[in-house]
Amino acid sequence: MNILILGSGGREHALAWKLAQSKKAGRIFIAPGNAGTGTAGTNLNIDPEDFASVKKAVADHRIGMVVVGPEAPLVGGIHDFFLEDEFLRNIPVIGPVRSAARLEGSKDFAKAFLTRHNIPTAKYKTFEKTNSFEVESFLRTLEPPYVIKADGLAAGKGVVILEKIEDALAETDAIINGKFGNAGLKVVIEQFLKGIELSVFIITDGKSYKLLPEAKDYKRVGEGDTGLNTGGMGAVSPVPFAGYDFIQKVKVRIIDPTIQGLRDEGIDYKGFIFFGLINVKGDPYVIEYNARLGDPESEAVIPRIKSDLFDLMEGVAKGDLEKRDLVIDDRYVTTVMLVSGGYPGHYEKGYEISGLGNTEQCILFHSGTKNAGNKVVTSGGRVMAVSSWGNTMNEALAGSYSNAASVSFRDMYYRKDIGFDL
Ligand code: AMP
Ligand code: GLY
């Protein structure tokens, strides 16, 4: 069966790399993909949010399954578009329908869902123009710092953490008044939770689920977790502090009630759920839900899946995931993201990447790369993720770092301290 993967980052390269190994998979197409995905399958120059073009690609390439990488097409309703279309109706989409993607697309929806189902999360309240006069009194019930979140998708820039109540008031006001356009007509203000974060992933057919490997992501650009937030500078899997007892708590307190909650609300969830969690003194709390896999977490998580990922996706499509096998590699996988100098601020693109053939015992998952003639050049802030295996975290990191040093492009930067806190 031919598969179409939507997206263009390292996560989609990891998905393409893994699905291409399945004996049951036919040809792999990636839209729009990057220079790396082009080595695992065939890139199609299509915008994943242009559903009419996606439909045409499905027909032209006799696609039998669509795997959605990023959140935007899910929140935009691509799965619903398939279900409502006579020609597309029977083609499975791995990724939830719009009503379920709201778990990621609306922080207010996610917090209300968590609260309805008694799932541990930070105390919160949602504000909009009509109740904005209550913001200050709510802030006074919280201890600083204050966590202020725009309700909708804001390209990862919608969350700020502020020490002073005046700043929190000003930020709330700015968001309510359109700082993020429609993404911010509502604002969620939360209690600040102190702990260490991790990302937990499941794949579900809406009835049962399989727990995928967890990972820790490094979001800040600078070493020691300093500087601006990025899409993610590296990841480690497994997470040493997420032992058996902790993961049991995650299952019982968070994953099971999430699946049950979706069922109770009549939402048929088919795809991945990414639980952004924080470990507060041994107890897990939900910081956020995402309706997809993480990036760069996927570049550490997917290489640890030994079983056929296509078989699991077929289980999602057919609703018999329970009968499918998931075998996980016990070894560590670490990934280090090579980024363009200046990222996440201004950076240049179009620099030639050299040394791609010099790496060994690692996988280079491309993110912001493209082909230019017979060269591979940079085309984004996050350029590629260097993933390596090891029996210990340090062994895996040594592989990621020695291979990172084999690749080069002008102004290349990467964090040298991934895993420093574990
Ligand atoms: P989100 O987009 O909701 O994941 O928030 C972005 C980042 O802000 C998270 O990864 C956390 O580092 C931080 N954050 C969000 N909510 C909280 C909270 N309630 N307490 C502490 N940190 C938070
Ligand atoms: N690495 C975090 C994310 O994918 O949202």
Domain that residue 384 falls in: 196-413
H helix or E strand, kind and range, residue 337: strand 332-340
Cα 26 from Cα 71, distance rounded (Å): 25
Q: Are residues 219 and 281 in the same domain?
A: yes
Ligand nearest to the CA of 300: 2
For the segment 38-80, what is each residue's pLDDT rounded down to a tens digit? 999 999 999 999 999 999 999 999 999 999 999 999 999 999 9
Ligand 1 pocket test, candidate residues 287, 289, 297, most atoms within 8 A of CB: 287
For the segment 173-209, what is each residue's pLDDT rounded down to a tens digit? 988 888 877 766 899 999 999 999 999 999 999 999 9
Please identify, by atom number, the ligand 2 atom nearest to the C-alpha of residue 292: 4
Task: Output the residue whose Cα is nearest ligand 1's atom 18.
Answer: 192
pLDDT band, very low/low/confident/very high, at 157 (cuts 50, 70, 90): confident
For the segment 308-351, what is each residue's pLDDT rounded down to a tens digit? 999 999 999 999 999 999 999 999 999 999 999 999 999 999 99
- Residue 418 included in any domain: no
- Residue 118 included in any domain: no
Q: How many angstroms does the Cα of residue 122 sit away from the middle of ligand 1?
A: 10
Domains held by the chain: number: 3
| Residue 198: closest CA among 110, 273, 286, 260 | 286
* Cα–Cα distances in angstroms (integers) from residue 166 to residues 160, 162, 173, in the given order: 14, 9, 11
Q: How many angstroms does the Cα of residue 295 sit away from the middle of ligand 2?
A: 5
**Where are any strands of DSSP class E within 230-282?**
234-237, 271-280
Please identify, by atom number, the ligand 2 atom nearest to the C-alpha of residue 217: 1
Task: Output the residue whose Cα is nearest ligand 2's atom 5.
Answer: 294
Q: Which residues contact 37 (CB under 8 A, 6 or more apart)?
A: 5, 8, 12, 13, 16, 30, 43, 366
Q: Domain ends where: 161, 191, 221?
A: 191
For the segment 232-257, what is each residue's pLDDT rounded down to a tens digit? 999 999 999 999 999 999 999 999 99
Please give the residue that has the higher pLDDT: either 229 or 289: 289
- Residue 331 included in any domain: yes
Cα 353 from Cα 410, distance rounded (Å): 8
Q: Which residues contact 127 (CB under 8 A, 6 or more apart)?
A: 134, 135, 138, 172, 176, 186, 187, 188, 189
* Cα–Cα distances in angstroms (integers) from residue 343 to residues 35, 156, 161, 415, in the given order: 20, 14, 21, 12
Which domain CATH number covers 60? Answer: 3.40.50.20
Which domain CATH number covers 168? Answer: 3.30.1490.20
